[in-house]
Amino acid sequence: MSGNKPNSALVIGGGVAGITAALDIASQGFKVYLVERNPSIGGVMAQIDKTFPTLDCSACILTPKLSEVSRHKNIEILTYSEVGSVTGSVGDFHVRVKRKARYVNEDVCTGCGDCAEECPVEVANEFDLNIGFRKAIYVPFPQATPNVYTVDKENCIDCGRCVKACQRNAIDLDMKDTTLEFHVGAIIIATGFQLYDITDYPRLGYGHYANVIHAMEFERLINAAGPTHGHLIRLGDGKTPKSIGFIQCVGARDVQKGVPYCSRVCCMYSIKNAVMALEHNNDGEVWVYYADIRAFGKGFEEFYEMAKKRFGVKFIRGRVAEVMEGKKTGNLVIRVEDTETAEVRLIEHDLIVISPGVVPPIGMDTMAKKMGIEQSDDGYIQAEHTFFGPTETKTPGVFVCGCAEGPKDIPDSVSAGSAAAMKATIVLSQGGT
Residue 196 to residue 360: CA distance in whole angstroms: 9
Residue 127 to residue 49: CA distance in whole angstroms: 13
Per DSSP, 28 falls in state T
Site stretch for ligand FAD (CB under 6 A), options 176-184, 214-222, 310-318, 325-333: 214-222
Distance in Å, CB of 227 to ligand FAD, minimum: 16
9, 12, 32, 259: which one binds ligand FAD (CB under 6 A): 12
The reply to whether 16 sits near ligand FAD by the rule CB under 6 A is yes
Between vectors from CA 345 to CA 341 and to CA 347, what angle results, nearest 5°?
130
Long-range contacts of 52-58 (CB under 8 A, 24+ apart): 52/268, 52/269, 52/271, 52/272, 52/300, 52/303, 52/409, 53/268, 53/272, 53/297, 53/298, 53/299, 53/300, 53/302, 53/303, 54/299, 55/272, 55/275, 55/276
The reply to whether 18 sits near ligand FAD by the rule CB under 6 A is yes
Residue 433 to residue 429: CA distance in whole angstroms: 9
Find out whether 317 and 290 touch, Cβ atoms under 8 Å.
yes
6, 39, 43, 236: which one binds ligand FAD (CB under 6 A): 43
Cα-Cα-Cα-Cα dihedral sign, residues 172, 177, 178, 184: positive
Site stretch for ligand FAD (CB under 6 A), options 36-44, 177-185, 234-242, 423-431: 36-44
The reply to whether 192 sits near ligand FAD by the rule CB under 6 A is yes
Residue 301 to residue 295: CA distance in whole angstroms: 5
| Residues of span 284-343 touching ligand FAD by CB under 6 A | none
Total of chain residues touching ligand FAD, rule CB under 6 A: 39
Site stretch for ligand FAD (CB under 6 A), options 1-9, 96-104, 306-314, 359-367: 359-367
234, 253, 294, 408: which one binds ligand FAD (CB under 6 A): 408
What are the backbone dihedrals phi and psi of residue 244, each rounded to the nearest 5 degrees, phi first? -125, 135
44, 170, 221, 250: which one binds ligand FAD (CB under 6 A): 44
The reply to whether 14 sits near ligand FAD by the rule CB under 6 A is yes
Nearest to 193 by CA among 43, 375, 12, 376: 43
Find out whether 205 and 212 touch, Cβ atoms under 8 Å.
yes
Distance in Å, CB of 160 to ligand FAD, minimum: 30
The reply to whether 219 sits near ligand FAD by the rule CB under 6 A is yes
Q: Which is nearer to ligand FAD, 77 or 215 (CB)?
A: 215
Nearest-10 Cα torsion for 285, 289, 295, 300: -10
9, 10, 11, 17: which one binds ligand FAD (CB under 6 A): 17
How many Å separate Cα 57 from the centre of its chain?
16
For the chain, what's the residue count? 433
The reply to whether 190 sits near ligand FAD by the rule CB under 6 A is yes
Site stretch for ligand FAD (CB under 6 A), options 35-43, 197-205, 279-287, 423-431: 35-43
5, 6, 11, 13: which one binds ligand FAD (CB under 6 A): 13
In sequence order, the β-bridge partners of residue 343 are 338
Distance in Å, CB of 65 to ligand FAD, minimum: 11
Distance in Å, CB of 391 to ligand FAD, minimum: 12
| Letter string b/e over residues 364-401, b meaning 16 or more CB atoms within 10 A of that residue's CB | beebbeebebebeeebbbbbbeeeeebbbbebebbbbb
| Residues of span 50-109 touching ligand FAD by CB under 6 A | 51-52, 82
426 three-state secondary structure = helix
**CA atoms within 13 Å, Cβ hemisphere of 361:** 20
65, 134, 272, 349: which one binds ligand FAD (CB under 6 A): 272
Residue 321 to residue 247: CA distance in whole angstroms: 10
The reply to whether 413 sits near ligand FAD by the rule CB under 6 A is yes
Site stretch for ligand FAD (CB under 6 A), options 253-261, 265-273, 281-289, 380-388: 265-273
Site stretch for ligand FAD (CB under 6 A), options 30-38, 202-210, 241-249, 375-383: 30-38
Site stretch for ligand FAD (CB under 6 A), options 31-39, 105-113, 244-252, 283-291: 31-39
The reply to whether 37 sits near ligand FAD by the rule CB under 6 A is yes
Site stretch for ligand FAD (CB under 6 A), options 44-52, 141-149, 200-208, 383-391: 44-52
The residue ranges that bind ligand FAD (CB under 6 A) are: 12-18, 35-38, 43-45, 48, 51-52, 82, 190-193, 195, 215-216, 219, 265, 269, 272, 361, 363, 367, 402-403, 408-411, 413
